[in-house]
Amino acid sequence: MKRLLLSLSFSALACAGASAADTLYVVKVDSAAVYIDISVTTATILQGSNFEVFREGEELVNPVTGAHLGSLKTKTGAGTLVTVHDKYAEGKLSEGIGAVKPGQLARITSIPAPAQIRGEKVVAPLWQSQAINGQVTAMALCDADGDGKNEMAAVLGNTLALYSIKDGKLAAVSSTTLPQMTKPISMEAKDGKMLITVYHSFLERFQTLVYALKGDQLERQTELKWLVRSLKRQGQPDKLVAQEQYADSSGNRSKIRPLFGEAEGWKTGDPIEFRKLDWVYGFNFIDVDGDTEEELVFITETGKMRIQYKDKRNYEYGSEFASTPNRMNWKGKFLRFYPRVISSRTPAGLPEACFLYNIPAGGILADTFGRYNSAEISCYAWTGTSLEQTWTAPLGGQAYDFDWGSFAGLPQGPVAVQVSGDKSFIVVLAR
C-alpha cells in the first residue's frame, strides 16, 4: 500500500494525489468492482479515496504549431477505493457500472479526511504507592497467586519482590534473593510465572530465570538460555518471544522466536521473519493503519520509532524513544534494553502504539551517560494521513519499563515504576 510519509502535510498529500492522475489505469472490471494499476505512481494512494474513470478520445493537435495537447476525455464512472495493495487498488463503482472498461484512465479526485481522534491529553495518576526503598529496574504485572488479580513483580538490586494493595496502600506479598553475580535486565510474566532476564558476570552470558509463587514463597523453577520479552496487545493474549545472545567474541545473536511454556519444558518455535527485526527489545506487531495486516513497530538505534512494512517501505518518527537507563557495554557492543512497545486502542477504536522514554537531566552528555530525571509514557495513533500523539503521561523520575493491565483490581491501564534517587514509586494511570 502506498502510504503517506510522515513528513508530508495533509495539503501536500492532496497535491501529490492530483499530480499522479494520468498514470492510473483500470486493468479489470467485475460488475461494480474495479481494479486500478497504481504500480507506476509514486503518489500516496489511500483507502477511502474517491476516483473517476474516463474514456480517452480524439487526440488534440495545435494546427499551427503541431503541438500535441492531449486527448479528449469522457467520464464513464466514479467510485471509492476500498482496498489498496502494493501494485493495485480495488475500488467500488458508485456510477458507470457497465460503462467502465479495462484500459480506461482513472483519476484520484479526493482523499479521505483524517480520522477524528481525541486530542493530545495529559493523563494523571489514578493511584501511586508510597515510597519503596531501592531502585526498581525491572517490573511486570503477574497473577502469581492465581486469585484473578495481578500482583506487581519488581526487581530491586538483587531482590525479586511481589507487591499487592491492601487498604489502599502498597503491601509486600513475598520476596527472594536472586543468584549472586547476576545483573537483572528485564522481566516478563506468563501464566503466573515470572521470567527475569539477567546477565551473569562470571559466566559472561545472558539467561532468564523462571520463578513462581509456591504458598507464600517465591521459588526458582528453571533457567533458560534466552533473553525473553513479551508482545503485549490489548484484547489478545500476551506472547513471549526469545532471542539468544551468543557468548562468543563476535557478540552475534540468534533470530527471534516465539517462546512457549509447556508441561515438558520451555520451547521455541520457528523464527519470526520480518525485515529489520533483529533485537528482542523494543518492538511489537501492530496493525497501525487498520488494514488488517500487522506492521513491525520498533525503536531504532538512533532513537526513532520505525513502522516497517513487509516490503521495503517504512516510516520513521521522533528521536527520543531510545532514551533508557537500561544499558551496558558487552564484548565491544553497546546494548540498550528498551522498554516494552505496547499495542492499545483509542476510545474511537483506532490502533495505538505506546512507548516509555526518559528525558535527559540536562547537558549535552546526559543521554550519553544515561542520566535522566523524568520520563513519559506516550501513545500514538495513525489517523489515515499521519501519525499523531493521542495522550501522554509524565512520570516524576526515570523509569526502566512499563506494563499494561489491572494492578490489584484497579482499572485497566498503564502501570509504571518511577525512580527518584534511591526511592521507587508504583504509578497506575487512568486510560
C-alpha cell belonging to residue 347: 476510545
DSSP secondary structure, 217-237, as one string: EEEEEEEESSEEEEE-BTTS-
Distance CA 391, CA 124 (A): 11
Distance CA 366, CA 374 (A): 12
Q: Which distant-in-sequence residues (6+ apart) come within 8 Å of 61 by Cβ?
A: 67, 68, 69
Q: Report the pLDDT value the prediction gives residue 300, as an integer from 0 to 100.
A: 96
Q: Which of 41-50, 111-120, 203-212 has the highest mean pLDDT?
A: 203-212
Q: Report the pLDDT value the prediction gives residue 150, as an integer from 0 to 100.
A: 97
Long-range pairs for 407-412: beta carbons < 8 A, 24 or more residues apart: 407/127, 407/141, 407/150, 407/151, 407/152, 407/165, 408/149, 408/150, 408/151, 408/152, 408/164, 408/165, 409/149, 409/165, 410/126, 410/127, 410/165, 411/126
The candidate with the shortest Cα–Cα distance to 391, out of 330, 338, 346, 326, is: 346
Q: What is the mean predicted confidence (pLDDT) over 332-338?
A: 92
Cβ 393 vs Cβ 429: under 8 Å: yes
Distance CA 414, CA 266 (A): 28
Distance CA 179, CA 175 (A): 13
Quick: pLDDT tens for 250-275. Answer: 778 999 999 998 767 899 999 999 99
251 or 193, which is more confident: 193
15 or 309, which is more confident: 309
- Output the CA torsion 352→357→363→366 (10° steps): -150
In terms of Cβ atoms closer than 10 Å to its own Cβ (0-12, 13-18, 19+), residue 37 is middle
Element (H, E) at 14: helix 10-19
| Helix/strand/coil for 17 | helix
Is 19's pLDDT higher than 60? no
Cβ 121 vs Cβ 393: under 8 Å: no
Element (H, E) at 241: strand 239-243
Neighbours of 194 (CB within 10 A): 26
Chain Cα centroid distance, residue 431:
18
Cβ 303 vs Cβ 297: under 8 Å: no
* Percent of the chain with pLDDT strictly greater than 70: 90
Quick: pLDDT tens for 33-77. Answer: 999 998 877 565 767 788 999 998 898 889 999 888 888 899 999
* DSSP state letter for 22: G
| Helix %, strand %, coil % of the chain (to 5) | 5, 55, 45
Distance CA 63, CA 337 (A): 71
Cβ 297 vs Cβ 341: under 8 Å: yes
